[in-house]
Structure 1
Amino acid sequence: MQRLHRDDVSYGDWEHGTWNVQPWHQGESLYDLWQPHRSDEASSSPDLGEALSCAEAVAVLHATGWAHGDIQPAHLIVSSEGTALIDLALAHGGDIPTAYDFAYRGCLVHYESPEISRSVLETGTATPTMAADVYALGATLFISATGLRHVAYPDDASRKDQRRAIVEGPHRPVDVPGVLGKLIDAMLSPEPSHRPTSAEVCGELRSAC
């Protein structure tokens, strides 16, 4: 068995293929944490500090030169100690041995950016980017706050149809109140260059907290 380490992630191969092991983090997913804000009787808006902690977790990864490639509510674990961004299996950025550098074929489609969905539809693969991560974070904040996917399509739609809906757009109107809603709307821009960076998202949220 071969074993390699990258910071706190271990990975290697064995007779049945490859494996990777990542730390376990206690806490709640962002979606579960914000459940009270999605009820008809909700009396408060999502906490900007919790949104900031999620954005900071993404920004910390981006500062190292890596894109996550699979940001979704279940991968943002919030606790009293902060927010952990988990599941780095699809991360892209640094040098990866060829044996472990698999083609990226998209992620959970509900959070894919239009450019990722378009590339997967056209070529079968895509390249994770920080701009696509920001879009995914916006979609994550939106569904966690509202319970709605950022783009409407039937629950039983195929992945291909889901991706077509994301490419063709537009996304649902962002009715999250205040600064958070304005940020989510900017993060969901179909044009990658028009989205704020993760660091800029952090800056806006810090100013508003």
Structure 2
Amino acid sequence: MPDPTPHELPTVVLEAAAPTSRRLVLNRRGSTVWDVETDRGRYAAKVGYPIEATSEWPAQEWTARAPGREGAILRHLGVEVTYGEWERGTWNVQPWREGTSLYDLWEPCRAQRAAKEPDPGDALSCAQAVAALHSKGWAHGDIQPAHLIVGQDGTELIDLALAHGGLIPDVYDFRFPGCLVHYEAPEISKSVLATGYAVPTMEADVYALGASLFISATGWRAVAYPDDAPRAVQRQAVVDGPHRPVNVAGPLGKVIEAMLGPAPGDRPTSAEVCRALSS
């Protein structure tokens, strides 16, 4: 559940961004995101803070560090970003990514599956964005349809706070706690169940991209489990498998099937996915 009252932009963020206008776009446990207009252009401003314990979930501190960690990662990747700390956590201000999420873009495929098939060009664009990140030595760790923003000039990967591949300042760093289970590879779910943590990998990113393409095309999670199942039950279902039949027509379905391979070595690389979709 989101906090009933979203956090306002802290003074330090207002001073850094100098917005001429701002619009709240996301308010969830542990973070708020604002769309801000400035004299220099349009930016996303993210503010993180700890999640307090309730009867439904434990306390989590890593959410306070996430915007700062993402800022450090974006700096590694050569993206224009400003980031730092405020009294309850960290923040960053980064360029706004214009486009439509993969899930929203393929909504007509889910609503009229007999009449409209997913566009392999969109899938290729998403795979190219993942492959570009991998070519720089980074695994994303949190690929999901909402983080694949398809625009006129290609796909942008957003929300890199959980990425793995380079040195992060200790003040911002934290261990990978897993991601949204719908897109977790079996080996990630298995590690989180056993230890509470995992290590993001490129192989797990390929699985997550396959699961993202599948749910965006069909409306179904790759692995079946009850909607209200606890996270541990969800993860055990992912570990135990198998995934649902990939009922996506044509070559795209075959590529998704390969991406959802149960073992990391069974899956194509992101570059191989791009070659398969290009052909």
- Would the TM-score normalized by the shorter structure come out above 0.5? yes
Q: 1:182 and 2:254 equivalent? A: yes
Aligned-partner residue type, residue 51 of structure 1 = A
Aligned-partner residue type, residue 136 of structure 1 = A
More strand by share: 2
Q: Distance in 1 between matches of 2:113 and 2:186?
A: 34
Deviations, residues 11-40 of structure 1 (Å, cap 9, x unaligned): 322332222333211111101111111124
Aligned-partner residue type, residue 96 of structure 2 = W
Alpha-carbon distance, 1:136 to partner: 0.1
TM-score normalised by length of structure 2: 0.71
Q: Could you list the runs of 5+ residues in structure 1 that have no partner in the other structure?
A: none
Q: Distance in 2 between matches of 1:133 and 1:38?
A: 24
The structure 2 residue matched to 1:196, chosen from 268, 271, 275, is 268
Residue 230 (structure 2) aligns with = 158
Q: 1:15 and 2:15 equivalent? A: no
Q: 1:140 and 2:212 equivalent? A: yes
TM-score normalised by length of structure 1: 0.94
Alpha-carbon distance, 1:97 to partner: 1.1
Identity %, equivalent residues: 69
Q: Distance in 2 between matches of 1:42 and 1:97?
A: 50
Q: Distance in 1 between matches of 2:206 and 2:120?
A: 17
More helix by share: 1
13-22 or 66-75, which deviates more = 13-22
Segments of 4+ moved more than 3 angstroms: 1-6
Aligned-partner residue type, residue 205 of structure 2 = D
Task: Indicate if the aligned counterparts of 1:76 and 1:85 stay in contact, CA closer than 8 A.
Answer: yes
Q: Could you list the runs of 5+ residues in structure 2 that have no partner in the other structure?
A: 1-11, 13-67
SS at match of 2:138: coil
Deviations, residues 110-138 of structure 1 (Å, cap 9, x unaligned): 10000000000000000000000000000
Alpha-carbon RMSD = 1.6
Distance 1:41 1:149, change over 3 A: closer
Residue 43 (structure 1) aligns with = 115
Distance 1:22 1:161, change over 3 A: farther
Aligned-partner residue type, residue 35 of structure 1 = E
The structure 2 residue matched to 1:101, chosen from 161, 169, 173, is 173
Q: State the aligned residue count.
A: 207
Q: 1:205 and 2:277 equivalent? A: yes
Q: 1:61 and 2:61 equivalent? A: no
Q: Distance in 2 between matches of 1:130 and 1:185?
A: 17
* Higher radius of gyration, 1 or 2: 2
Higher RCO structure (Cα 8 Å, ≥6 apart): 1
